[in-house]
Amino acid sequence: MRLLEERILKDGIVKEGGVLKVDSFLNHQMDIELFNEMGKEFKRLFSDAPINKILTIEASGIGIACVVAQYFHVPVVFAKKAQSINIDGDVYQTKIQSFTHKRVYDVIVSRKYLSPEDHVLIIDDFLANGCALEGLVDLVHSSGATVEGIGIAVEKGFQHGGDLIRSKGLRLESLAIIDRFENGTVVFKEQ
């Protein structure tokens, strides 16, 4: 998606160690008009899929998912990273390793909000090693629901999460795929 790539080139900051910071428009401060354009693009890409629910994970996936959901006219469910006393015990549960935070999270979704009748689009902001995404796919499969597709804003193509997910036969669409960093700037994979 040209608009997102241009925005990453303009406002993304490449740090040492292959870290791309996009927190001025994507995952700390959020540009809602950009999210709307992303929503239109995901709708175009998944227009043939019978999606009736969007699943994401707290925290930075939620904003994108809610704006995108407007183009599908479906509710959003977000997976939670720790058990709260306000959640019923009756949950689907998985574990997700976070390299960013150097820990393993228990991640849960209430059984009330995923069922075998659901056709799910998974939305998240970033895909790197794929751990979060594998956890979300695992939650959907636990419920008997169908993963219709996965929509990602920014995929780090030089890590292997995308390959892993695609090798499982899952339909994955990333709006911008980073091929490599060169002289401190981002080079995208041609799509």
Q: How far is the CB of 51 from a copy of itself (least distance, A)?
A: 13
Q: How far apart are CA 91 and CA 140, in angstroms?
A: 12
Nearer to a copy of itself, 100 or 167 (CB): 100
Nearer to a copy of itself, 109 or 177 (CB): 109
Nearer to a copy of itself, 113 or 188 (CB): 113
Report yes or no: 93 and 107 within 8 Å, Cβ to Cβ: yes
Q: How far is the CB of 39 from a copy of itself (least distance, A)?
A: 11
- By CB under 8 A, name the binding residues for a copy of itself: 19, 21, 23-25, 28-33, 35-36, 58-59, 62-63, 65-67, 69-70, 73-78, 80, 82, 84-87, 100-102, 109-110, 112-113
Report yes or no: 70 and 51 within 8 Å, Cβ to Cβ: no
Q: How far is the CB of 87 from a copy of itself (least distance, A)?
A: 7
Residue the block writes with tokens 């809602």: 32
Nearer to a copy of itself, 3 or 62 (CB): 62
Classify 123 as helix, strand or coil. strand
Q: Which two tokens stand for residue 90?
A: 């009756």
Which candidate, 129, 111, 107, places its Cα nearest to that of 59?
Answer: 107
Q: How many CA atoms lie within 13 A of 155 on its CB side?
A: 27
Q: How far is the CB of 4 from a copy of itself (least distance, A)?
A: 16
